Structure 1
């Protein structure tokens, strides 16, 4: 298993087509508008029940009365209590991946502060409402799929992609996003000055928008949904960057996102590490595709997993734009197939590989033997994943 110091390079917005990049890991906090993502809204009295029977995670947590209290100091810049977002997936009845969703619950009226920031507003009895950040490339079919399952459920499913945008804040952030180290982003994301949009929300308008810790992994940074006509707080003009840099950041972490990187109708959720990304609850009860997921988790051994990749030449130097998704990764000594590249950008990629070949020998790209492949285990992986593989290999 190879270890190396990551040197991710930055694609600049103004030189998008000129391959101009610098070291991403030393560029400080960055933010990207995720144009590949779209926003839909679920509302109505059956919203929680409807999604609970479909998605892999426990949506009932949005009904819990106690959320995360943002601060002991009242301010009109934020709701008094927030509910963290949730990452989840919709599967086929056979347990294969279809779509991923980041779910957000806007603050309800009795959780908002009054204009003076001294107390909660009144509860007008608004219906349950959840926003979902989804893959924009499959938006139409995703909406059609949810509406197919709706039947008589009292839930509205709306495309609000023109009104809202998805953002990610990442890069060289604090190792621990505690209130002491990064109070603005860790708590509200509005900053110290009064933001008029946030202040409006605290006075009883429909929404109060803020950054949240990415529900998958802390190392991914912060994520949020914001009105399309505004730039989110804490996004400095010289730090807003192309979405491809966020892709590079995820490639180095080995985190796939969306129905292209996680092949729709084909991918097995556990092979794409969705358990480690907090997308699956094993305590919630039944949902579409649950049987295969539960059986694999409790009885099976995961022989293949999604791994970060680095592409090198014979001299060990990184090679750019030489590998395409779908390329076959082979074991150099035996020419045996180890897996497939699923995503690639520059000298980085991800691949679904057999662990026994990926972490124990030299790899190359089939048909491009001059391109060497270095696969490595991400730091965030639970130690038991590798232990399970090693125990299985010993028995075999």
Structure 2
């Protein structure tokens, strides 16, 4: 098999390379920016199905986020009446609740697994046989939800959820043969430019006086499965689960690319995913920025591991955070380096440990770093025992200002 030598391909052959070889584009994020929009089928993720009358309460009592909005009627927004006229459109619901990102923790508040939860398209959102209105569905309190989870730990995740089930009336099944997880990403996808076609699902489907048929057909399948804005960050693009025997809408053949390119895009934003990058049984969710990634509700009530999360949050100071970085040489040029997980990052001047790398791909990486040390003026960081490989810390533009200011203020107070 021919190896993927990224430096040997000119940019003009980019898309043929993606289609024929499925090689990573490049370790340069600038190439991803130039090439977008792109889409990847996520083999690192699997799909679970939760069904039964107790599904909503069962998950609500386990997970860090509020999932009750997913359990509410998804046929149409509140305020609509049965008397309103419908404009014939493709097989899509008028409204579907957006996915919810959440985590399952240990009783001690440590991370176990992350999940993207989706509600499938409702039956009443589909065309009836006449094609002139939505199918009427009998009132049914049973809720079905799908979860996008880490495929490497699929059997363990299934076992864990079933162990928590006790007497709850909920069925938990592996639906990975029927459904696949996809991500659409790139600068043009995450851009707010109004000329960019936005596949966000919440604005399409049954309409009132506005025919959005062509738009809907491009943004969802005839079964109603749709793209949604990534619930963590808009800049990550769009995410969805789709029937495994279909290609999602808006995915051109020459724009489907290796999943590693999505990983590179995600690392550049400073976002970890899955129970390998977020160490299972060890990671503290707030240090991995879960509050900033819309994964935690602080007013939903009790869930497994809530006590540590609430106490840490109300204390208000997170001294270490998952932070993106670049690997550079002494001249500041980006370098590609194979770095094992948990490689120590040290301060060149003092030799003290500042943190550790979590994942590195090419010249980009993420690591858990002490905020005060990593962002101090003129900080010089490098990989331990590799002084020639420097660490250039990057502050993501989505970080709230107080994540840095709190530590600046504390440092100033201590020096008085």
Q: Distance in 2 between matches of 1:67 and 1:353?
A: 45
The answer to whether the 8 Å contact 1:85/1:104 transfers is yes
Of residues 73, 77, 81 in structure 1, which corresponds to 2:95?
A: 81
2:390 counterpart residue number:
372
Measure, in 2, the Cα distance between the counterparts of 1:28 and 1:112.
Answer: 32
Matches within 5 A, 1:335-374: 335-360=351-376, 361-374=379-392
TM-score, normalised to structure 1's length?
Answer: 0.89
Give the corresponding residue for 2:152: 137
Structure 1 contact 68–84 (Cα < 8 Å) conserved: no
In the TM superposition, 1:1-396 aligns within 5 A as 12=18, 14-15=20-21, 23-65=31-73, 74-114=88-128, 118-126=132-140, 127-174=142-189, 181-185=196-200, 187=203, 192=215, 194=217, 198-199=221-222, 201=223, 208-360=224-376, 361-396=379-414
- Structure label with greater radius of gyration: 2
Label 1:347 to 1:79 Cα distance change in 2 as closer, same or farther (>3 A): same
Contact 1:80 1:113 (8 Å CA) reproduced: no
CA distance in 2, matches of 1:235, 1:16: 15
Using the TM superposition, give the Cα deviation of residue 76 of structure 1 relative to its aligned residue in structure 2, in angstroms: 1.8
- 1:108-139 CA deviation, whole Å, 9 max, x = no partner? 22343435664321113442000000000000
Task: Report what 1:5 is aligned to.
Answer: none
Q: Deviations for 1:241-299, whole angstroms, at most 9, x for unmatched residues?
A: 00000000001000000000100000000000000000000010000000000000011
Contact persistence 2:75–2:94 (CA under 8 A):
no
Query: Contact 2:23 / 2:258 at 8 angstroms: preserved in 1?
Result: no
Q: Which moved more, 1:124-133 or 1:145-154?
A: 124-133
Alignment partners' CA distance in 1, 2:375 and 2:216: 49
Q: Is the 8 A contact 2:25 2:261 kept in 1?
A: no
- Partners of 1:210 and 1:224 within 8 A in 2: yes
Distance 2:129 2:349 in 1: 69
Distance 2:71 2:238 in 1: 23
Cα deviation, residue 30, structure 1: 0.2
Distance 2:190 2:39 in 1: 17
Confirm or deny: 8 A CA contact 1:80 1:120 kept in the other structure: no
Partner secondary structure for residue 39 of structure 2? strand
Is the CA contact (8 Å cut-off) linking 1:188 and 1:210 kept in structure 2? Answer: no
- In 2, Cα distance between equivalents of 1:350 and 1:278: 19
Equivalent residues of 2:180, 2:243 under 8 A apart: yes
Gap change, CA 1:20 and 1:309, over 3 Å in 2: closer
How far apart are residue 25 of structure 1 and its match?
1.1
The 1-side partners of 2:199 and 2:316 are apart by 43
Deviations 1:310-364 (A, max 9, x none): 0011121111134222110000111110000001100110000001111120100
CA RMSD of aligned residues (A): 2.6
Provide the aligned length of Structure 1 versus Structure 2: 379
Q: 2:388 aligns to what SS in structure 1?
A: strand
Deviation at 1:80, TM superposition (A): 1.6
Cα pair 1:34 1:166 within 8 Å, conserved = yes
Q: Distance in 2 between matches of 1:13 and 1:324?
A: 30
For residues 152-195 of structure 1, what are the alpha-carbon distances to aligned partners after superposition, in whole Å with 9 as ceiling and x for unaligned? 00000000111110000000225555887424455459964858
Query: Is the alpha carbon distance of 1:263 and 1:216 closer, same or farther for their aligned partners in structure 2, counting shifts above 3 Å?
Result: same
Query: Against the structure 1 CA distance between its residues 391 and 309, is the aligned structure 2 distance closer, same or farther, given a 3 Å change threshold?
Result: same
1:117–1:173: structure 2 CA closer, same or farther, 3 Å change rule?
A: farther
8 Å Cα contact 1:68/1:83 also seen in 2: no
Give the match's secondary structure for 2:397.
Answer: coil
Query: Following the alignment from structure 1 to structure 2, what is the Cα–Cα distance between the partners of residues 300 and 18?
Result: 40
